[in-house]
Amino acid sequence: MKAIVSLNAGSSSIKFALYALTGNGPLALAASGKIEKIGIAPRLVARTSDGTVLLERDWPDGAAMTHADLLGALFAWSAAYPLEGREVIAVGHRVVHGGTAFAAPMRVDAALLDALEALCPLAPLHQPHNLAAIRAIAALDPALPQVACFDTGFHQGRPELATRLALPRALHDQGVRRYGFHGLSYEYVARRLAELDPALAAGRVIVAHLGNGASLCAMTGGRSVDTTMGFTALDGLMMGTRCGSIDPGVVLHLQTQLGMSAAAVEAMLYHDSGLLGVSGISSDMRTLAASRDPRAEEAIALFVWRAVREIGALAAVLGGLDGIVFTAGIGENDAEVRRRICAGIAWLGVTLDEGGNVAHAPRISRPDSRIAVHIIPTDEERMIALHTRAALEASA
Ligand code: ADP
């Protein structure tokens, strides 16, 4: 039996999944896992689809381990993993940036890799990890087809205005524009919503992808209209370690008045800001929620405040709102953050079903709520696998 592997090499985690192909039918998840807490104390867990743990490894002193080191450990394991006759026919990758040239998923070749390499400055925290994973697999098995699936792709086709920054227009033509990210997650959630509640999916919906990286996407009829991330994945909401939208004058001040180098500012905005920067404790929402330190509460309060503010902005862009969907680590699991965000947008017509929210029920708004609120677990890996299968078929 044939199988496809999805790899999602992100900033603080590498998620992977193995899907068995059953003709054109649904992809059957065979095994999946995650390496998380990269840069802190990496932990690798792989499970079968029924949750049985296949492999568990901890590196308590592994703060310095790179993504490549950890992928090496994963490959060493997968080489030994009994694939039970499954033949891996392709690997699909989440690639954060497709620039203006690439929207639809594409088979990887040397020319594409070079073109994607040139986009690294636009996503320095993510793109190098994505491409390193592609190169690592190409080195292991040069003949194995690989497919790049772009996180920017879903947002192409937005109204032109949503892509513009109010900068001299020559810059826009050079690619200094708003792209938007988390597209694979939004595409998956939009498809699931269309299955679960087609009438709502046809309307005006904001999807809140709240994980380590966080953004919102305003959709009409399942298509992206606007999104909070822009030129880079720094823009928009407050995140685990990223600042989200800030006055660009702050960047000038840091450099001209405080004498910080561009590299130091970059490191601060990507790695030392957000929940970690404001709390001074952790980038991890679970750690902050468990803390009694008032700085932890202030960081959570700011995270909620920024989300409320941006939901209001996107509701205005949509000309009203029919539904909200929460997804990703915080969106799917943190009932308290969801409750606080929904309280902040009660004026829009959101009435939360408190019990349903605590139970992580799929629909967490009351029946009489004017705006429906759902939780839909995202599955970027499955979206990657679906695209990879389609790209293989298209190139067959
Ligand atoms: P990434 O962007 O790295 O894929 P995730 O979507 O996995 O991130 O989200 C990570 C965030 O989700 C962390 O802040 C983590 O604390 C939070 N999270 C995960 N599980 C829970 C939970 N059960 N309760 C609260 N927060 C959670």
Please report, as a single letter, which amino acid is at residue 119.
L
For ligand 1, whether the C-beta of 331 sits within 6 Å is: no
Q: Average pLDDT of 43-62?
A: 92
What separation in Å is there between the alpha carbon of 338 and the centre of ligand 1?
Answer: 13
At the top level of CATH, the class of 199-375 is alpha beta
Is residue 213 very low, low, confident or very high in pLDDT (cuts 50, 70, 90)?
Answer: very high
Is residue 60 very low, low, confident or very high in pLDDT (cuts 50, 70, 90)?
Answer: very high
Ligand 1 atom with minimal separation from the 11 CA: 3
CB atoms within 10 A of CB 225: 21
Percentage of the chain surpassing pLDDT 90?
Answer: 79
Residue 256, φ and ψ in degrees, nearest 5: -85, -35
Task: Please report the DSSP string for 363-386 in residue order.
Answer: B-B-TT-SSEEEE----HHHHHHH
Is residue 80 very low, low, confident or very high in pLDDT (cuts 50, 70, 90)?
Answer: low
DSSP β-bridge partners for residue 326: 208, 375
The whole-number pLDDT of residue 83 equals 59
Higher pLDDT, 84 or 210: 210
Active-site residue, from 50, 58, 69, 151: 151
Domain boundaries along the sequence of the chain: 2-150, 199-375
Q: Alpha-carbon distance 68 to 63, whole Å?
A: 13
What is the DSSP code (8-state) at residue 26?
A: P
Residue 208, φ and ψ in degrees, nearest 5: -105, 105
- Mean confidence (pLDDT) of the chain: 93
Pocket test for ligand 1, best of 12, 286, 338, 357 (most atoms within 8 A of CB): 286
Q: Alpha-carbon distance 255 to 268, whole Å?
A: 12
By alpha-carbon position, which residue is closest to atom 12 of ligand 1? 329
For ligand 1, whether the C-beta of 329 sits within 6 Å is: yes
**151 among known catalytic residues:** yes
Rounded to two decimals, what is the model's pTM?
0.92
For ligand 1, whether the C-beta of 240 sits within 6 Å is: yes
By alpha-carbon position, which residue is closest to atom 21 of ligand 1? 333
Beta strands in the chain (DSSP E): 2-9, 14-20, 28-36, 43-48, 53-58, 87-95, 106-107, 146-150, 204-210, 214-220, 223-227, 323-327, 372-375
Equal fold, 2-150 vs 199-375: yes
By alpha-carbon position, which residue is closest to atom 23 of ligand 1? 333
Is residue 11 very low, low, confident or very high in pLDDT (cuts 50, 70, 90)?
Answer: confident
Please say whether the beta carbons of 280 and 295 come within 8 A: yes
Q: Average pLDDT of 85-92?
A: 83
Name the CATH superfamily housing domain 2-150: ATPase, nucleotide binding domain (3.30.420.40)
- Which tens digits make up the pLDDT trace of 144-192? 999 999 999 999 999 999 999 999 999 999 899 999 999 999 999 999 9
CB burial of residue 199 (10 Å; 0-12, 13-18, 19+): exposed
